[in-house]
Amino acid sequence: ALLFPTRLKVVPHEFSDRASFRSWLLDDDGGFRNTFTRDIRAREQVTAPFVWFAPSDDGHDVEDFLGGHDDTLAWCREFMSPRDEIKPNYPVADMMDDGYTKDHGYDYDLVVIGGGSGGMAAAKEAAVLGAKVACLDFVKPSPAGTTWGLGGTCVNVGCIPKKLFHIGSLLHESVRKDTPSFGIRLGEPNGASATDELSGIVPDPSTQMRWELVRENIQNYIRGLNFKYRVRLREKEVTYFNKLAKFTDKHTIEAVDKKGRSSLITAARFLVAVGGRPSPLSCEGAEHAISSDDVFAMEKCPGKTLCVGASYISLECAGFLAGMGLDVTVAVRSILLRGFDRECADKIGDYMVDHGVRFKRDVIPSKLEKIETGQTKVLFSDGTEEVYDTVLAAVGRMADTDKLGLESVGVETNPKNRRIIGKFEQTHCPNIYAIGDVLDKTPELTPVAIQAGLYLARRLFGGDKEAMDYQNVCTTVFTPIEYACVGLSEEDAVAKYGQNNIEVYHREFVPLEWSLSMSRSHNAAYTKVIVDKSPQENVLGIHYVGPNAGEVMQGYGTSMKQGLTLKTLTDTVGIHPTSSEEIVTLSITKSSGEDAAAGGC
């Protein structure tokens, strides 16, 4: 009943047609050669639907139980390799032979070190593909003593709490800035007259966002996710250990639990997915600063806050704290959002200033000191001094590899950031692999870690060959005005192709949802598309500064992967009235010198 692919591989055999596969399936007496179905039967759990092989059309009675959903998926992946047919030119991962054989004699086929976004995805996928897998996750408390549950950075101290605080702060801002213009009067009985506020543009200063309440709700939600992750690992038959791992040789780790009890675990293959941790400040008194590992779980409102650093984490935290009504300053060493499109980064800075964030430019803290009030006095490199309730250091992250024993197994790391050096996620020790934030020269983003983990598991246990593609990954900065992009910044496009060989289409606009409010910055939203000057005008980069930026950009990311041209983009009929339609209706070029400010509908 299953279609025969052009080439079918059953390790260690390879079949080029249905007949040779069938003759392998049958033993000398015409019975079913039952090795892999027996393996599957031995597993304890089978999930619906139940799948049998169909009797063959040429008279053989090849009827046997394949298994449930996961077994069928695994069978299809292993035996049919559909990617060969769909994407003939996919990038192939030419990995070193790691010596893996099914009868290796170790405790596990694969041990994953790190139960974050990447590690859990890889562990579950490998298990679905029939591998015997264990996953170790252990959280070392931050220097300020914060700790958390299973799921890694994203769910506990990264994307999830950050985005929830951000959403809350946007709501709060909307209540203050937008709702009056829509005639919404919070706390007034229905039908109350608002004649004396006819303009409806008076922000309501009395609305409050209570730190303790939002923090508690977010932390409860995270605890629920921690529990779900454990359940999902169990469902996929991945053995979970809440233990800290360290290599003792290339097939063995020492695993230590909370009470210091140690045991040895062996595996044919290891996957290192330990992520990273925040870098501390290097000045005197650095211990008085907290990091993103602490801020989301703070029992008390952070109060007047200094955010040190000017990239994703610092600006996102500064944005949501200011949106909650707190007094926030950002200490910028050089520029905002290094590596991003300059024009877009500056628009974010301008918007944040309007949003109430203060920027202290060209400074770094030189000394932090606790004072009697419990606050922190900060001496800056320009000689100024200021006092804050909280200092949040967001000056980059280091891979969490220093106590992993990597040197003892020949896994090399980049001394600048301790990230593991590898090719196709394989380290210099062929049976040890790495994915996610710990792998050097890859974007530190959750979906990247997950995708790399899935692809690797399919290559190791599913017969796939497809390499992870780290190009044209979309990203969003969740600042008060959000910013999303895919592809090259204008600066990178100029550097790569030359100023005369690129064109930039752009537009400033007011998102419709902000158009009634007088409290919103004028034309703060912006989009630009960078193309080359080849006849087909290939799109090199898409940038969008405005509401719901991540939602807007995701689909354009798919188009970029297919090779997007300006004509395809502008041939696309927009959805009206949306902010995303601004991208498909771009017509003003930078070189024309025309005003990029959009008119109305």
Rounded to whole angstroms, the Cα distance separating 175 from 168 reads: 11
476 is a site residue for ligand NDP (CB under 6 A):
yes
Residue 78, SS3? Answer: helix
449 is a site residue for ligand NDP (CB under 6 A):
no
Rounded to whole angstroms, the Cα distance separating 460 from 145 reads: 38
Residue with tokens 């628009």: 347
In the sheet that 539-545 helps form, which strands lie side by side, from edge to edge? 475-477, 483-487, 539-545, 525-532, 502-509
Q: Which of 125, 294, 444, 582 binds ligand NDP (CB under 6 A)?
A: 444
Contact 51, 67 (CB under 8 A): yes
448 is a site residue for ligand NDP (CB under 6 A):
no
Region from 30-38, 51-59, 107-115, 441-449 binding ligand NDP, contact rule CB under 6 A = 441-449
Region from 306-314, 427-435, 526-534, 578-586 binding ligand NDP, contact rule CB under 6 A = 306-314
Task: Using the minimum distance from each CB to ligand NDP, give the nearer residue, 162 or 172.
Answer: 162
At a CB cut-off of 8 Å and minimum separation 6, what does 398 contact?
276, 277, 278, 279, 417, 418
Contact 324, 169 (CB under 8 A): yes
Which x/- pattern over 240-279 shows residues binding ligand FAD (rule: CB under 6 A)?
Answer: ----xx---------------------------xxx----
Residue 526, SS3? Answer: strand
DSSP collapsed to 3 states, 334-357? CCCCCCCCHHHHHHHHHHHHHCCC
What would you report as the CA-atom Rg of the chain, rounded to the nearest whole angstrom?
Answer: 28
Q: Smallest distance, Å, CB 127 to ligand FAD?
A: 17
Q: Which of 66, 95, 119, 320 binds ligand FAD (CB under 6 A)?
A: 119
Task: Using the minimum distance from each CB to ligand NDP, give the nearer residue, 424 or 478.
Answer: 478
**What is the sign of the dihedral through the CA atoms of 211, 214, 215 and 216?**
positive
Residue 270, SS3? Answer: strand
Q: Smallest distance, Å, CB 422 to ligand NDP?
A: 18
Residue 395 binding result from ligand FAD, ligand NDP, none, given CB thresholds of 5 to 8 Å by partner type = ligand NDP
Q: Give the residue from 225, 252, 87 showing the smallest Cα distance to 153.
A: 225
Rounded to an integer, what is the distance from CA 155 to the centroid of its chain? 10
Residue with tokens 């100023």: 499
Bridge partner list, 247:
253
Q: Which of positions 440-499 make contact with ligand FAD (CB under 6 A)?
A: 444-447, 449, 478
400 is a site residue for ligand FAD (CB under 6 A):
yes
Which x/- pattern over 355-374 shows residues binding ligand NDP (rule: CB under 6 A)?
Answer: ---------x----------
113 is a site residue for ligand FAD (CB under 6 A):
yes
Which x/- pattern over 125-144 shows residues binding ligand FAD (rule: CB under 6 A)?
Answer: -----------xxxx-----
Q: Which of 67, 323, 365, 436 binds ligand FAD (CB under 6 A)?
A: 436
Give me the half-sphere count of Cα atoms (radius 13 Å) on the Cβ side of residue 351: 29
313 is a site residue for ligand NDP (CB under 6 A):
yes
Q: Tell me the site size for ligand FAD, rule CB under 6 A.
A: 36
**What Cα–Cα distance (Å) separates residue 276 from each residue in 19, 225, 272, 445, 479?**
51, 21, 12, 11, 22
Active site residue 576: yes
In terms of Cβ atoms closer than 10 Å to its own Cβ (0-12, 13-18, 19+), residue 63 is: exposed
Q: Smallest distance, Å, CB 550 to ligand NDP?
A: 8
Task: Using the minimum distance from each CB to ligand FAD, give the nearer residue, 136 or 530.
Answer: 136
**What is the sign of the dihedral through the CA atoms of 190, 192, 198 and 200?**
negative
Q: Which of positions 249-288 make contact with ligand NDP (CB under 6 A)?
A: 282
Residue 308 binding result from ligand NDP, ligand FAD, none, given CB thresholds of 5 to 8 Å by partner type = ligand NDP
Contact 118, 449 (CB under 8 A): yes
The residue annotated as part of the active site, out of 60, 104, 355, 576, is: 576
305 is a site residue for ligand FAD (CB under 6 A):
no
419 is a site residue for ligand FAD (CB under 6 A):
no
309 is a site residue for ligand NDP (CB under 6 A):
yes
142 is a site residue for ligand NDP (CB under 6 A):
no
Q: Smallest distance, Å, CB 428 to ligand NDP?
A: 25
Residues near ligand FAD (CB under 6 A): 113-119, 136-139, 152-154, 158-159, 162-163, 244-245, 273-275, 292, 313, 400, 404, 436-438, 444-447, 449, 478
Binding site for ligand NDP (CB under 6 A): 282, 308-314, 316, 333-335, 338, 364, 394-397, 443-445, 475-478
Q: Which residues are catalytic?
A: 576
